[in-house]
């Protein structure tokens, strides 16, 4: 497997594009995008677990009931959530996209992201469709990725090529997510494409398995969004023999999909609202997978740990505190903790107790922009990694005037 460029357009059979249609006030920010496949695709998706969910979620769930899709349309700036005419507007967006893509309305995936409780204006979307259609291209991945950004500071794309049965295959994607991120599904919007020939049930199983160990291990601020969605379309144009969950090729596809989602997850964590550092919590030697996941997620979600990382303060007691209240069944008297970055590594806790360490070296390690919190439990074989970021003054500034 190797990483390649192109994002959602890296796989065979997908065009994409994005532009500013007028939903967002800033004329320099794109706010509408489409992805269109050359043929009908096997499709799957996972969604937010928030009971308050956006109208696009409801419509997309209905459209993907048969496991088939041809196009994606998404706007940024307004979430189309808690709006009386939300379903009507989401269906209208599908109708506009279907006309542009030359497909059925029920074969369109629709998504929105932005401010909650504001009606989506259809006029700017309708007026922009001819230009959006004209701008679709096999090199349009970046423009599409830019159009789904809200408080993101950079577009997030990744793709990888690999072989199945001697056929070159590719999976690629893009995501947006910077705030309102607490892993309860996919934690943001993510659009994925692949040219692998795969059964709908196998595609759904692969997506759920990949999300579990990647997007569901990302934490920014503790808020689960109303509009979270991760979807994938498979064109089948790679020409490999049809993949089923219990057949050759499934493992290779799942590995590539996980690799792409992991890169996107890291990009999202590093670009958390106001963040200056990517934090990885790596847990080793847990009694069970559940215990390992509870600990790693608890540590990266702790506001006290996050602020300590922002201040480059080697306050390992906060790590122990987050470990202790997460519900994992472990012996705290066997816990070792170390901080690691490209500036070095330093042990700060042994057998659940503090040890002497060089505070200046610890500070230099924690001043770097990527930090690993290494936890060894010595109580089993299970492992887990969770991803997060530091908590800074800018997070409050960004969210204090989000609607403006």
Q: What is the 3-state secondary structure (H, E, C) of 200-265?
A: HHHHHHHHHHHHHHCHHHECCCCCCCCCCEEEEEECCCCCCCCECCCCCCHHHHHHHHHHHHHHHH
Task: Report the distance separating Cα 34 and Cα 251, nearest Å.
Answer: 30
Q: CA 210 → CA 54, 227, 254, 340, 345, distances in Å?
A: 24, 19, 7, 26, 30
> In which element (H, E) is residue 294 found?
helix 289-301
Name the DSSP class of 76. E
Q: CA 147 → CA 57, 113, 141, 156, 300, distances in Å?
A: 19, 10, 10, 11, 29
The closest of 92, 88, 74, 84 to 118, measured between CA atoms, is 84
Catalytic residue among 42, 81, 150, 187: 187
Main-chain phi, psi angles of 353, to 5 degrees: -130, 155
What sign does the CA torsion over 259, 45, 232, 275 have? negative
SS3 336: strand
Main-chain phi, psi angles of 139, to 5 degrees: -120, 20
Residue with tokens 């040219």: 195
Active site residue 150: no
Can you give the C-alpha Rg of the chain in angstroms? 22
The closest of 155, 210, 154, 216 to 184, measured between CA atoms, is 216
The closest of 366, 156, 373 to 269, measured between CA atoms, is 156
Residues marked active site are found at 187
């Amino acid at each position: 497997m190797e990483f390649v460029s192109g994002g959602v357009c890296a796989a065979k059979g997908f065009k994409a594009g994005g532009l500013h249609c007028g939903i967002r006030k800033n004329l320099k920010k794109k706010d509408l995008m489409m992805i269109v496949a050359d043929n009908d695709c096997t499709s799957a998706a996972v969604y937010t677990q928030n009971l308050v969910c956006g109208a696009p979620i409801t419509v997309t769930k209905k459209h993907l009931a048969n496991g088939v899709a041809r196009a994606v349309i998404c706007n940024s700036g307004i979430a189309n959530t808690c709006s009386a005419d939300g379903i009507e507007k989401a269906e209208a967006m599908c109708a506009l996209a279907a006309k542009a893509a030359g497909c059925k309305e029920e074969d369109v995936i629709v998504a929105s992201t932005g401010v909650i409780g504001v009606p989506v204006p259809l006029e700017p979307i309708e007026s922009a469709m001819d230009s959006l259609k004209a701008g679709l291209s096999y090199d349009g991945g970046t423009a599409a990725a830019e159009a789904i950004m809200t408080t993101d500071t950079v577009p997030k794309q990744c793709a990888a090529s690999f072989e199945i049965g001697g056929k070159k295959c590719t999976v690629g994607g893009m995501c947006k997510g910077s705030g309102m991120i607490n892993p309860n599904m996919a934690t943001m919007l993510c659009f994925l494409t692949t040219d692998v020939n795969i059964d709908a049930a196998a595609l759904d199983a692969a997506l759920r398995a990949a999300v579990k160990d990647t997007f569901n291990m990302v934490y920014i601020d503790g808020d689960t969004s109303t509009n979270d969605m991760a979807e994938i379309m498979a064109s089948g144009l790679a020409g490999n023999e049809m993949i089923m969950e219990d057949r050759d090729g499934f493992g290779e596809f799942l590995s590539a999909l996980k690799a792409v989602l992991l890169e996107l997850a890291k990009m999202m964590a590093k670009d958390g609202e106001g963040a200056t550092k990517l934090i990885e919590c790596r847990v080793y030697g847990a009694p069970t997978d559940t215990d390992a996941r509870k600990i790693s997620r608890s540590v990266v979600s702790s506001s006290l740990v996050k602020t300590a990382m922002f201040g480059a303060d080697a306050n390992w007691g906060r790590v122990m505190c987050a470990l202790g209240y997460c519900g994992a069944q472990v012996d705290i008297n066997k816990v070792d903790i170390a901080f690691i970055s490209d500036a070095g590594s330093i042990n700060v806790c042994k057998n659940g107790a503090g040890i002497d360490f060089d505070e200046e070296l610890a500070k230099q390690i924690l001043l770097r922009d990527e930090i690993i919190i290494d936890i060894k439990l010595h109580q089993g074989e299970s492992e887990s990694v969770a991803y997060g970021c530091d908590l800074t003054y800018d997070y409050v500034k960004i969210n204090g005037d989000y609607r403006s």
